Amino acid sequence: MSRVYNFSAGPSMLPEAVLKRAADEMLDYQGSGQSVMEMSHRSKVYQSIIDQAEALLREVMNIPDNYKVLFLQGGASSQFAMVPLNLMNGSGKADYVITGQWANKAYQEGSKYGEAHIVASSKDKTFSYIPKLDKKDFTPDADYFHICMNNTIYGTLYHELPDTGDVPLVADISSCILSQPIDVTKFGMLYAGAQKNMAPAGMTVVIIREDLIGHARDITPTMFNYQIHADNGSMYNTPPCYTIYIAKLVLEWIKNEVGGLDKMYEINKKKAQILYDFLDSSEMFHGTVVKEDRSLMNVPFVTGNEELDAKFVKEATAAGFVNIKGHRTVGGMRASIYNAMPIEGVEKLVKFMADFEAANK
């Protein structure tokens, strides 16, 4: 069996130890005589899986007791509507920072339900930086302030969070959840699709402060109401059972094998540094993001020559470095180096890039 180094932005690599464990437990989950895919979500054995997943997430992310953890479906994209439907209930206003496509989609959805206001945008330079924010541009009575913390497509990360005072900060952390410690108390709500750094596709985690629950608009579909899911322990209907189970295994891996999020963060910084150091020293390859806003998870780069980019992607794929083509809206290359990408995957990629540079001078 030979496995490739998969630089996909999502769905993406999972830790090999997790895949092996899932394989071991596939036919008979811990003596239940069934796979997790087959069991009733109302069974005791499944209840224990979802309870452990939540407990582990709370422990690993240090989530305070006054926040609810919800396991939902509909992707991070459904949150773009769920957030305004549930939270835009006071002034009917909300602030958005536009740092890329996902942030913009969130804003567009928010605009359908109230007065969504763009505080700042980095569109002028193809989202290659995080805009400096000026508090006087914030809406003082906004119901929430929305950011996309790590911009998967453009490769930028907020290394510092905006100070929104009493206005709840809401963040899409789909592509940076579990990559570094996050101070949950700084946020009213966090949400993340699972398929980047947590599990296979099919599940969205919502972490929401309790006082923000229970004020959804009358028109809110039942399935879009956080209260319904909070009251039912994420089991109002059938939850994404198997994805939640894999998330549990991934969280066990982070806790027991890696040693927690501080350790994970150290490894991720080291991994990203290897790639950025090479990009900074290369004459052929260049990172596209300003240094101070670089993502640890998604690293876009170009040669400046589209033909050479295409040649690189082709040869890299043949050499076992797959899904390294940039997003269809950006071009070039993008190496997504989530938690599960081993350090030697990045070292080997850099070696391959150096050899390619030497051969194509």
Least Å distance, CB 282 to ligand PLP, is 27
Residue of 95, 102, 248, 253 marked catalytic: 102
Q: Cα angle vertex 147, ends 233, 324, to 5°? A: 95
Closest CA to 285 of 343, 332, 341: 332
Closer CB to ligand PLP, 39 or 246, in the complex = 246
Residue of 196, 248, 271, 325 marked catalytic: 196
With b meaning 16 or more CB within 10 Å and e meaning fewer, what string describes 53-63? bbebbbebbeb
Residue 124 annotated in active site: no
CA distance 78 to 72: 10
Least Å distance, CB 173 to ligand PLP, is 8
Least Å distance, CB 45 to ligand PLP, is 28
Q: Which DSSP category does 334 fall into?
A: E
Residues that bind ligand PLP (CB under 6 A): 10, 75-77, 102, 148, 152, 172, 174-175, 193, 196
Name the token pair of 201: 């596709």
Closer CB to ligand PLP, 203 or 279, in the complex = 203
Least Å distance, CB 78 to ligand PLP, is 7
Least Å distance, CB 195 to ligand PLP, is 6
Closest CA to 164 of 95, 110, 215: 95
Kindly give, in sequence order, each residue whose CB lies less than 8 Å from that of residue 71, ignoring residues fewer than 6 positions away. 50, 53, 54, 203, 204, 205, 234, 239, 240, 244, 247
Residue of 95, 172, 293, 309 marked catalytic: 172
Q: Which DSSP category does 154 fall into?
A: T
Closer CB to ligand PLP, 76 or 335, in the complex = 76
Closer CB to ligand PLP, 178 or 353, in the complex = 178
Residue number of the CB closest to ligand PLP reads: 75
Distances (CA, A) of 56 to 19, 124, 160, 187, 265: 18, 41, 26, 20, 17
Closer CB to ligand PLP, 341 or 353, in the complex = 341
Least Å distance, CB 18 to ligand PLP, is 20
Closer CB to ligand PLP, 95 or 172, in the complex = 172
Helices within the chain (DSSP H only): 16-24, 44-61, 75-87, 101-111, 226-231, 241-252, 261-281, 306-318, 343-359
Name the token pair of 22: 């899932």
Secondary structure of residue 299 in the 3-state scheme: strand
The residues that are catalytic are: 102, 172, 196
